[in-house]
A = this chain, B = another copy of it.
Amino acid sequence: MRYSDLGNGLKDSGLGELLALAGKPEMYNFSSGFPAEELFPLKELEQVNRAILQKEGKQAVQYGSSAGYLPLREQIAARMNKIFHADCSAEQIFITSGSQQGLSLLGQLFLDKDDVVLVESPTYLGAINAFQLCGPKFVEVPTDEQGIIPEALEEILRTTERVKMMYVIPEFQNPTGVTWTMERRRAVMEIVNRYDFPVLEDNPYGELRYDGETMPALKSMDTKGNVIFLGSFSKILMPGLRVGWIVAEPEILEKLNLLKQDVDLQCSSFAQRQVSYFMDMFDLDAHVIVLKERYRKRRTLLYDSIQKYFPAGVTATYPEGGLFLWVTLPEGMDAKALAPKATARKVAYGPGAPFYPNGGHGNHLRLNFSTMQEDRIVEGIQILGDLLLEELEG
C-alpha cells in the first residue's frame, strides 16, 4: 500500500506491547495510567442509564450537536468556575472524545509542518504523538521542580521563529508529577501575554490534589484569550465513556465545530448524557474525595517504599496530586534497556525517554500509583529496588 507521509510516519513504538504486557494480572503494573477501577461508581451508573432513557429516550441515541450536549457544556462551565476559578460560559465549552481528541484537534487547528510547538521537557507522550501528525518541530523548554523556567521560555521565544503554540501541564505533570508554583504561573502568563500566542493548558488531574491548596489555572489568569484549557472526566469519573472538554474563545470553538464535523461528527450522545446525568443525580465532588483518599494513600506508600527500597543515587519526585511520580537513575543508566529485566520479574514501568520529543534522557522512568492495590505497590517497589541495586553494583 502507498500511504501518505503521515501514514508512513506511523511507527509502532513498542509501547503498546509494553502496556499489553503490563496489563496482565500477575504483573506489578506501574506503567499505565489507568484509574482505580474498583472505585468506579457502577451502582450510580445503573441509575443514570435508567434515568436517561426515562427522561429523554430517543434523543439520547439520535444524532446531536458537534459542540456537545448543551446541559453538559453548562455543567462544565459552572465547574470550571467553581474548581479552577476560570470564568467561562457554555459558549466556550466544546466536548471531545477524551482529552486526547482535544490535543489532536488543536494540533490540526494550529500546526503546519515545521511550525514550532513549545513543550515542557519532558512532556506527555500522548500530546507528542497527537501533534506529531502535523509534522511540527518540538522545542523543549527547560523545567525544574517549580515548573517551566520563565527565563528559558523568554530566551526561546526571543530567538525562535515560527512558534505557533505552547503545550503545558501545570498541575501534577505527566510524567514528572511536578506542579507549577504561583510565581511561575504569573511569570509565564506575563510572557505569554507579551508574545501573544496560544497556550494549551492540559489539566486532566487538577482535581486530584492530595496535599496543599488548589492553585488557580492559567486559564483563570488569562486576560487575552490565549489560554486553551483541556479537561477530562477520565480520571475523576470513568475513562471508557470518552468524555473530555476544551475551554476556548468562541472564535476557536467555531473552528473546532467545523473540524469535529469532518473528523467524527460528534461524541456519543449517550455517553455525554451518562456524565451529565451523573453530575445532576449524584455528588461528583464527594466521589472525587473518595478517589483522593485512596490515591493519597497509594502516592505516599509508593514514595515511602522508594525511599526505603531504592538504592542511593536514585531519586524520585514527590507529587502533590495526579497519578505519577518520576524517577531519575544515575547518569548513564538506561531505563528502556532495563525494562525487559524488570518485566522478567513481573514489574512494569514507563521508560522516560519517549517523554522527550527530541530524544536523550534515558535515565528516567515514570511510576503510576493509581492502578494497583496497596500491598502490591510495596512488593513491586521492593523487587524493582533489588534489580536497581544489582544493576548499580553489577
Contact = CB atoms under 8 A, between A and B. Distances in A.
B40 A109 contact: no
Contacts of A238: 61-62
A75 interface: no
A71 interface: no
A194 interface: no
Contact of A38 (B35, B58, B115): B58
Interface string A260-292: 011111111111001000000000000000000
A18 to B, nearest CB: 13
Contacts of A97: 97, 264-265, 267-268
Contacts of A50: 46, 49
A59 B34 CA distance: 12
A129 B4 contact: no
Interface residues on A, range: 35 or more
Contact of A133 (B1, B164, B262, B264): B262
Contacts of A2: 110, 164, 197
A3 B240 contact: no
Nearest to A262: B129
A344 interface: no
Given A4-B109, A10-B258, A259-B10, A61 B34 contact: no
A394 to B, nearest CB: 36
A98 to B, nearest CB: 6
Contact of A98 (B6, B251, B265): B265
B263 A104 contact: yes
22 contacts: A1-B110, A4-B108, A6-B108, A7-B255, A16-B261, A37-B58, A40-B57, A40-B58, A40-B62, A46-B50, A49-B50, A61-B241, A63-B234, A63-B239, A64-B240, A97-B268, A98-B264, A130-B262, A240-B270, A241-B268, A270-B270, A271-B271
A130 B164 CA distance: 24
Given A45-B53, A270-B241, A111 B4 contact: yes
A279 to B, nearest CB: 15
* Assembly stoichiometry (copies): 2
A299 to B, nearest CB: 20
A4 B63 contact: no
A12 B104 contact: no
- A contact face: mostly helix, strand, loop, or mixed: helix
A83 interface: no
A82 interface: no
A209 interface: no
Interface string A12-54: 1000100000000000000010110110101001100110010
Given A7-B108, A7-B109, A40-B62, A266 B254 contact: no
A203 interface: no
Contact of A240 (B45, B134, B268): B268
A311 interface: no
A242 interface: yes
Given A4-B109, A6-B108, A61-B40, A268 B271 contact: yes
A367 to B, nearest CB: 18
Given A108-B133, A262-B130, A270-B274, A1 B240 contact: no
A161 interface: no
A47 to B, nearest CB: 11
A42 B58 contact: yes
- Which one of A7, A46, A111 has the greatest number of beta carbons of chain B within 10 Å? A7
